[in-house]
Amino acid sequence: MDIIAILNIYREAPISEAALILQNSPVLCELAVAWTKTHQDNFNPPPEALSLQELWANTKIDYDALEAATMLTTMQIIRGVEQLKRYNIILPDGTINRTAKAIINNMIMANIKVPLAAKE
């Protein structure tokens, strides 16, 4: 199986746990968003990867970039990244799962306050 096929399995898989985890943890949401902005170039897969674990083994996690992007503590980042990996919310290529992305987008939209148009 090629690398894109492996990632697509996890990227497209519905994860009901993601809803619970992300809705109850702003820290994990923030980390997931930061992951997509900081880890696009840290993915160096082996040519013949057979599993997601092999892909993770060849991914450099830039904790400094995540700390700068989120202003979270190092320990929050380390624990958060491990939890996001465990539930396949973040993926080694710098993307996040489709379900997680939809949940985060919905949470962002629910928190945006659009000012009412001024009456003329």
In a domain, 114, yes or no: no
In a domain, 112, yes or no: no
**pLDDT score recorded for residue 14:** 78
Strand partners, 43: 59
**pLDDT score recorded for residue 19:** 81
Range of the domain at 53: 3-106
Burial of 28 per CB tally in 10 Å (0-12, 13-18, 19+) = buried
* pLDDT tens digits, 80-94: 999 999 999 999 999
Q: pLDDT: is 109 or 95 the higher one?
A: 95
* pLDDT tens digits, 92-107: 999 999 999 999 998 8
| Domain count within the chain | 1
Q: Whole-model pTM above 0.85?
A: no
In a domain, 120, yes or no: no
pLDDT band at 108 (very low <50, low <70, confident <90, very high): confident
Percent of the chain scored above 70 by pLDDT?
Answer: 91
Whether the predicted pLDDT of 119 surpasses 60: no
**pLDDT score recorded for residue 114:** 62
From the list 71, 81, 88, 61, the residue with the least C-alpha distance to 7 is 88
In a domain, 118, yes or no: no
Confirm if 54 and 46 have CB atoms less than 8 A apart.
yes
Whether the predicted pLDDT of 41 surpasses 70: yes
What are 66-74's contacts with CB under 8 Å, separation 24+? 66/31, 66/34, 66/35, 66/38, 69/34, 69/37, 69/38, 70/30, 70/31, 70/34, 72/27, 72/30, 72/31
In a domain, 97, yes or no: yes
